[in-house]
Amino acid sequence: MSIAPFTIHITPETLADLQERLARTRWTDEVAGAGWEYGTNLAYLKELLDYWQHHFDWRAQERALNAFSHFRARVDGFGLHFIHERGKGEHPLPLVLLHGWPSSFWQMLPIIPLLTDPASHGGDETDSFDVIIPSLPGYGFSDRPGEKGMGLGRVADLLAKLLIEGLGYERFALRASDLGAGVSQQLALTQAQRLIGLHQSGTNSFIGQIPDNLSRAEQEFIANAERWNQQEMAYAMQHFSKPQTLAYSLNDSPAGLAAWIVEKFRAWSDCAGDIEKRFGKDDLLTNLTIYWATQTINSSMRLYYEMVRNPGSWGRVEVPTAMLMSPKDMFPTPREWVERSSNVQRWTEISSGGHFLEWEEPERVAEDLRAFFRPFRQTQ
């Protein structure tokens, strides 16, 4: 396995092409007074793309990104991008942070200093972590899989080899949500002896077989999941079934890409309908520019397709698990439901935040991570 430092650099030609496409956007119509009811709001998208074209400074964002330690590894012939930031103090705990869709490694950057240097952010240096943030295969600056079969189990295998053989971590901790949580579940089943603990957030609308002995809270959860699937799951069904068809337009049009992604950040965050209460334009556009410049919208959506056809391992997760649950992440999940499939040892409900907690509430996430993993440090 080879690992080499990596510097992010998007070519001037790619940025110039983006500018030209933004200038040539052919806008669709909109029903009067539609707001966001029919999907991404026309007025907001015009405002965002005007900023992208005339005010957004990618080079400034690129410099900020490159302030972190980036690497690329060849694992079984596949290229994986990751950030590796060493913790301060003695014996920092290795912690892997896994993103999902439509996010990227960019989601995790606000929390890095809180974890690597807690003493400078109101914590104790004995709670420090070595932070490893991979770009999932098909995302960001990792390779785009060109063959069938890159499901969650295969992704987990690649990450395990990177951590164990490439970085030399005998044991490690995990924090994940969204598709990253699916990968973490695979690691918890196949690398249980390596995994110190699993810290997760979020709900899951994929219910599977419904037990007979549901609590009242679980019955409400099932009803909410079925309602959410009917109203909000169209995007995922497209990803699951025909991602290639959708990808042509999103890879060709920055307006289309922005519309497909930004609507999810508004819908899944704790923003009360105003997306910029949680995410500034520079944040949204940095994430979008990563997708655009790397041409990974197709490969990122394809992970959904591969996930349902290559589901990986199944079983109860016995690794010690913590759940950090926010009020605006799709719909509430009761503890007893998660305990049916996981060894839940810590359950924390917070009063704010949505689906992108490392972005929305980094201090709360860091605080819960420190508290959960503190007892495990003594045994490492």
User: Tens digit of pLDDT per residue, the chain (380 long)?
Assistant: 899 999 999 999 999 999 999 999 999 999 999 999 999 999 999 999 999 999 999 999 999 999 999 999 999 999 999 999 999 988 999 999 999 999 999 999 999 999 999 999 999 999 999 999 999 999 999 999 999 999 999 999 999 999 999 999 999 999 999 999 999 999 999 999 999 999 999 887 777 789 999 999 999 999 999 999 999 999 999 999 999 999 999 999 999 999 999 999 999 999 999 999 999 999 999 999 999 999 999 999 999 999 999 989 989 999 999 999 998 998 889 999 999 999 999 999 999 999 999 999 999 999 999 999 999 987 66
What pLDDT shows up at residue 332?
86
What is the spatial distance between Cα 259 and Cα 44, in angstroms, rounded to a whole number?
10
What pLDDT shows up at residue 345?
98
| Residues 225, 331 contacting (CB under 8 angstroms) | yes
HSE, CB side, 13 Å, CA atoms: give it for residue 139: 25
Task: Give residue for tokens 């689906």.
Answer: 355
C-alpha pair distances (Å), 53 with each of 19, 29, 249: 6, 21, 19
Threshold 0.75, pTM exceeds: yes
What is the spatial distance between Cα 186 and Cα 36, in angstroms, rounded to a whole number?
36
Q: Does residue 149 come out as left (phi exceeding 0), alpha (psi in the -120 to 50 range) or beta? A: left
What is the spatial distance between Cα 166 and Cα 1, in angstroms, rounded to a whole number?
6
What pLDDT shows up at residue 179?
95
What pLDDT shows up at residue 29?
97
Residue 332: alpha-carbon gap to chain centroid: 19
| Residues 44, 32 contacting (CB under 8 angstroms) | no
What is the spatial distance between Cα 348 and Cα 335, in angstroms, rounded to a whole number?
10
The amino acid sitting at 63 is: R
What pLDDT shows up at residue 318?
97
Q: Does residue 315 come out as left (phi exceeding 0), alpha (psi in the -120 to 50 range) or beta? A: left
What is the spatial distance between Cα 376 and Cα 279, in angstroms, rounded to a whole number?
34
What is the spatial distance between Cα 48 and Cα 62, in angstroms, rounded to a whole number?
19
What pLDDT shows up at residue 379?
67
* Catalytic sites, residue numbers: 178, 304, 355
Q: What are the DSSP calls for 60-118, one per residue?
A: HHHHHHTTS-EEEEEETTEEEEEEEEPPSSSSPEEEEEE--SS--GGGGGGGHHHHH-G
Q: Three-state SS for 318?
A: strand
User: Closest Cα partner for 93 from 18, 13, 169, 36?
Assistant: 169
- Domains with residue ranges and CATH for the chain: 2-22+37-377 (3.40.50.1820)
> Any idea how long the chain is?
380
What pLDDT shows up at residue 170?
95
What is the spatial distance between Cα 72 and Cα 9, in angstroms, rounded to a whole number?
14
Q: Which two three-digit tokens encode residue 32?
A: 């009067």
| Residues 6, 79 contacting (CB under 8 angstroms) | no
